[in-house]
A and B are shown apart, each in its own frame.
Chain A
Amino acid sequence: ETGVTQTPRHLVMGMTNKKSLKCEQHLGHNAMYWYKQSAKKPLELMFVYNFKEQTENNSVPSRFSPECPNSSHLFLHLHTLQPEDSALYLCASSQDTGGYGSPLHFGNGTRLTVT
């Protein structure tokens, strides 16, 4: 496989469930990101990992918990979510975070619906 792969593509969960989103990149990049995309709003950066170390947590509620076991894999663990958390969750990677103008490469996202 090539590029950035996200699973599952769609997820429906109740407010009391616990689930995880998975992201894998096959580009040899060192930085990985979680973004939230809601209708008609700009992409919101949630978390950044560079060389497996979390370098940014953009004031994200603790019901979202990231995990980055290595430079190729990124998880987002979800628990006790709220309906307003329903959105498209996008994973991205880049060569690194310090590079001058490194573009992001995105997966196709997980469409999350919280009922």
Chain B
Amino acid sequence: EDQVTQSPEALRLQEGESSSLNCSYTVSGLRGLFWYRQDPGKGPEFLFTLYSAGEEKEKERLKATLTKKESFLHITAPKPEDSATYLCAVQAGDMRFGAGTRLTVKP
């Protein structure tokens, strides 16, 4: 059965303190791995799609990487506005989501 596990469940950082979020997955026939950002009271917002091991994508302070078993979302020098819940999802047939990592960046 397809599984997606995100860690840590919650992460508190000081502004400027770089870190990484992890998404481990087991799936047969990966079509894509997705990262979303969700702010309180809003729906998830699409960030990245990664298709194959070794692929990397960047957007501002965020960089997503992919291996055959996991993906990392690296946050470089985060700002308070980066505070949100970050969701990882894998698509083989349907899109299966992890439970998310709640990131808080303190000024």
Contacts and interface: CB of A to CB of B under 8 A. Distances in A.
Interface residues of A, number: 21
Contacts of B98: 42
B32 A100 contact: yes
The majority secondary structure among interface residues of chain B is: strand
| Residue in A4, A6, A40, A101 whose Cβ sees the most chain B Cβ within 10 Å | A101
Interface string A97-115: 0001111111111000000
A92 B89 CA distance: 14
A90 interface: yes
Interface stretch (B12-20, B40-48, B56-64, B73-81): B40-48
Given A90-B44, A105-B46, A109-B42, 5 more contacts: A6-B43, A42-B97, A43-B97, A101-B34, A108-B42
Interface in A28-77: 40-43, 45, 48, 56
Contacts of B44: 43, 90, 104, 106
Given A45-B95, A56-B94, A106 B87 contact: no
A41 B45 CA distance: 18
B94 A108 contact: no
A109 B98 CA distance: 18
